[in-house]
Amino acid sequence: MNPIAEECIALIAKQKSISPEQIRLDSTLDDLSLDSLDRVSIAFDLEEKYDIEIPEEKLGQIKTVNDMVTGIEEAVRQKSAKPSATA
């Protein structure tokens, strides 16, 4: 499993006080009982960790753990593709 997927699963596990083994990439956020407050908290932690910003509309489209992982991967890719302001 890639490090971003591991991070997403670890954060969900921490937020819900469950074991990471209970979380699969195809688990839906509803299956994991992640309410809206849980979702924004996890998104916040991921934004902090990877120094990215997840757009509001993307957040609403995340239905599964895998959606979350690909969303973060995309945001990280976009960030590294952007020329740095100081470069």
Partner 1 sequence: MTRVVITGAGCVTPIGQDLVSFAENLFAGHSGIREMTDRPPELHFSHTGSVKDFRPEEWLTASQRPIAERSSAFAIAAARQAVSQSGLVAAYSGDSIAVILGCSTGGRTTEEQEYRKLYTTGGRIHPLTVPRVMASAGTSLVSMEHGFTGPAFTITTACASGTHAIGLAFHLVRSGAARAALTGAHEAPLTYAFLKGWDSLHVVSPTACRPFAADRDGMTLAEGAAVFAIEPLDSAQARGAEIIGEIVGFGMSSDAHHITQPAPAGPAAAMLRAIEDAHATPDEVGYINAHGTGTDVNDRVEAEAIHRVFGGRARTLPISSTKGLHGHAIGASGAMELLATVLALRRNLLPANAGLGGTGVDPALGLGHVLLANEPASPGLALSSSFAFGGLNAVLALRRFEA
Site residues (CB under 8 A) for partner 1? Answer: 15-17, 37-38, 40-41, 43-44, 47-48
- Helix H, strand E, coil C: the string for 9-75 is HHHHHHHHCCCHHHCCCCCECCCCCCCHHHHHHHHHHHHHHHCCCCCHHHHHHCCEHHHHHHHHHHH
CB of 70 to partner 1, least distance (A): 22
CB of 33 to partner 1, least distance (A): 9
15/70 with CB nearer partner 1: 15
Rounded to 10 degrees, the C-alpha dihedral 31/7/55/16 comes to 40
Minimum CB separation from partner 1 for residue 65, in Å? 19
Q: Residue 43 or 65: which CB sits closer to partner 1?
A: 43
Considering the complex, state which of residue 2 and residue 16 has its C-beta at the smaller distance from partner 1: 16
